[in-house]
Structure 1
Amino acid sequence: MNKWLNNIKLEGKLVKLEPLSLHHLEGLTDAVKDGDLWDLWYTSAPEPSSVQSYIETAMDEFANDRSLPFAIIRTSNYKIIGTTRYMHADAKNKRLEIGTTWYSKSVQRTGVNTECKYLLLQYAFEELECIAVEFRTHWHNLQSRNAIERLGAKQDGVLRNHILDKYGCLRDTVVFSILNSEWNTVKKSLEYKMTKRYLGL
Structure 2
Amino acid sequence: MWVNLVFCKKCGYENDDDALYCENCGTNLSSINSPSSSGRRKTNKILMVAVVVLILGISVIAGMMMISKAPVVNNTNVTNENQNTQSATQNTSNNGPEIIDSNSITGNSEIYGNFKFEWKTYKNTEYNLVIYSTFSNEVQNNLKQTGTLSMNEPGSVLITVDPKASGRSNWASTTSQQGYSTIEDFYWGYFRNQYLMKGPIH
Could you tell me the TM-score, scaled by structure 1's length? 0.27
Structure having greater relative contact order (Cα 8 Å, sep ≥ 6): 1
Q: Going by fraction, where is helix more abundant, 1 or 2?
A: 1
- Larger Rg: 1 or 2? 2
Q: Going by fraction, where is strand more abundant, 1 or 2?
A: 2
Could you tell me the TM-score, scaled by structure 2's length? 0.27
